[in-house]
Amino acid sequence: MMSDSFDVVVIGGGPAGYPAAIRAAQNKLSVACIDEWKNYDGSYAFGGTCLNAGCIPSKALLESSELVHRAQHEFRAHGISLGEVSFDVVAMQKRKAGIVRQSTQGILALFKSAGVTPLQGHGRLLPGLRVEFTAHDGTRRTLQAKHIILASGSQPMELRSAPFDGQHVVDSWGALEFDAVPKRLGVIGAGVIGLELGSVWRRLGAEVVVLEALPDFLPMADGQVSREALRHFKKLGLEIRLGAKVTGAKVENDEVAVSFTDAKGEQSLTVDKLVVAIGRRPFTANLLAEGTGVEIDERGFIKVDDHCRTAADRVWAVGDCVRGPMLAHKGKEEGVAVADAVAGLYAEVNYKVIPSVIYTAPEIAWVGLTEEQVKASGRAYKVGNFPFAASGRARAMEAPAGFCKVVAAVDDDEILGVHVIGPMAGELIAEAVLAMEYSGSSEDLQRTIHAHPTLSEALHEAALAADKRAIDCLNK
């Protein structure tokens, strides 16, 4: 007979919830984790949006499409001739599905090993540290807990002027499920999701137009990086229209007529598929019963303090449903920190050093402050840049695009921000995160020996360039 009483009940099995459950179990607590994710084929799975319809499947398709692009445009430079390159989208999708299934099944294996009780269905917080669990077959149980962690995640935002129909006008999940390359693809939103999805289908041959309402491209990134990125996206063939506000989308004759306004006035665009990627919002549907004491802010986020505590005693919230960037790794660290705090251990998340990555080609990654933010603060700073064109390893990889950039303070040399656009940027940024976690200086990076020849040398040289001491590029 399954117990209805646990030390910890986690509602949500995504990248914030399942790590919280595993760490709580590692801390010798009895744990249940509830998740209601349902796939298009009717199957149920843990892992949330990240593993089922976001991070993991998108990276699988990004990898497949980049290999196609390299085979078509780069292999010849290596002396490799393939003739006409063909590809099979259905096979790509099958590979992607296999990777997703392996990942989600892996969570169940981890739960079993750690001793977490997995419950597939809907979880609803009740007053008195109780959770109503409704299984997919409709049966209900009430669970009692000493602590409850809410990790309900987020969902795609919908445009009133372009509502989803699941076939022609789709969200980011739908855009990962196409079984054929659309001839003409429209993407609303030039953020991380829009650029990644647009890159996948452009590499495979789609004509892609990206409509971005904001006048600036990637305003959250360093300005120098944004300008470099825009140049490469245009080179790839993405048509990016800034300041374009969509006013309507009408499906007729198996195509979508999109209307929008920009600096030139009213405009129109006809596409075969339209992806709406304007951001995500917290998912809290039917999560909270009356009288729980948990508060929701004006944007729909669950209110928490700096340690993820809600207004209700011993009820915590982590991940996309609370303030801060909607990033899987941010949610994971919050979940682990809360699970440690529940067990009476020291726990803290350093929100100042959460890295961001865009998995396009070239990749884009950053951590800390942009040069514009440091300049606006009034603090004296210095900048070091190193182009990948000066990296022997990058040139050998036929990947010389982009650069590493280090922004450091003049007074104490503290690293304030690191920005990378180029090959394996998402991997390279980890060194910068570690340095900044320990309040490292640019001199610390300068004195750290980097293997040669490696891409990581670019970060080393950028740190040296901040003091005009770079070896492998001109000091400006």
The answer to whether 322 and 154 are in contact (CB under 8 A) is no
Q: Angle at which helices 425-437 and 457-465 pack, to 10 degrees?
A: 50
Domain extents for the chain? 5-156+281-349, 169-278, 353-465
Return the CATH number of 169-278, one of 3.50.50.60, 3.50.30.50, 3.40.630.30, 3.40.50.1100.
3.50.50.60
| Residue range 204-215: mean pLDDT, rounded | 98
What is residue 136's DSSP assignment? T
**Count of CB atoms situated within 10 Å of the CB of 98:** 11
CA atoms within 13 A on the CB side of 93: 13
Which candidate in 73, 168, 452, 460 is catalytic? 452
Topology alike, domains 169-278 and 353-465: no
Q: Which helix (H) or strand (E) holds 245?
A: strand 245-252
Percent of the chain with pLDDT over 70: 99
With 0-12 CB in 10 A as exposed, 13-18 as middle and 19+ as buried, what is 159? middle
Q: What is the pLDDT of residues 28-42, one digit of tens each?
A: 999 999 999 999 999
The answer to whether 403 and 473 are in contact (CB under 8 A) is no
Active site residue 78: no
Q: Provide the pLDDT for residue 2.
A: 57
Tell me the C-alpha distance between 58 and 133, whole Å. 31
Q: Provide the pLDDT for residue 113.
A: 98
With 0-12 CB in 10 A as exposed, 13-18 as middle and 19+ as buried, what is 132? middle
DSSP-based three-state secondary structure for 237: coil
Non-local (6+) Cβ contacts of 423 within 8 A are 362, 363, 388, 394, 397, 399, 401, 402, 455
Which tokens go with 451? Answer: 């293997």
CA neighbor of 12 nearest in space, from 316, 350, 340, 327: 316
Q: How confident is the model at residue 420 (pLDDT cuts 50, 70, 90)?
A: very high
DSSP-based three-state secondary structure for 443: helix
The answer to whether 248 and 258 are in contact (CB under 8 A) is yes
Q: Provide the pLDDT for residue 3.
A: 67
Q: What is the pLDDT of residues 139-176, one digit of tens each?
A: 999 999 999 999 999 999 999 999 999 999 999 999 99
| Residue range 434-450: mean pLDDT, rounded | 98
Tell me the C-alpha distance between 189 and 456, whole Å. 32
The answer to whether the peptide bond before residue 325 is cis (omega within 30 degrees of 0) is: no
Q: What is the pLDDT of residues 268-324, one digit of tens each?
A: 999 999 999 999 999 999 999 999 999 999 999 999 999 999 999 999 999 999 999
The mean of the pLDDT values for the chain is 97
Q: How confident is the model at residue 1 (pLDDT cuts 50, 70, 90)?
A: very low
Tell me the C-alpha distance between 215 and 219, whole Å. 9
Q: Residue 233: is its pLDDT beyond 80?
A: yes
pTM of the model: 0.96
Tell me the C-alpha distance between 300 and 295, whole Å. 9
Domain 5-156+281-349 has CATH 3.50.50.60: yes
| Residue range 239-266: mean pLDDT, rounded | 97
DSSP-based three-state secondary structure for 171: coil
CA atoms within 13 A on the CB side of 37: 27
DSSP states along 344-407: T------GGG--EEE-SSSEEEEEE--HHHHHHHT--EEEEEEEGGG-HHHHHTT----EEEEE
Domain spanning 353-465 has what CATH number? 3.30.390.30
CA neighbor of 453 nearest in space, from 417, 399, 408, 414: 399
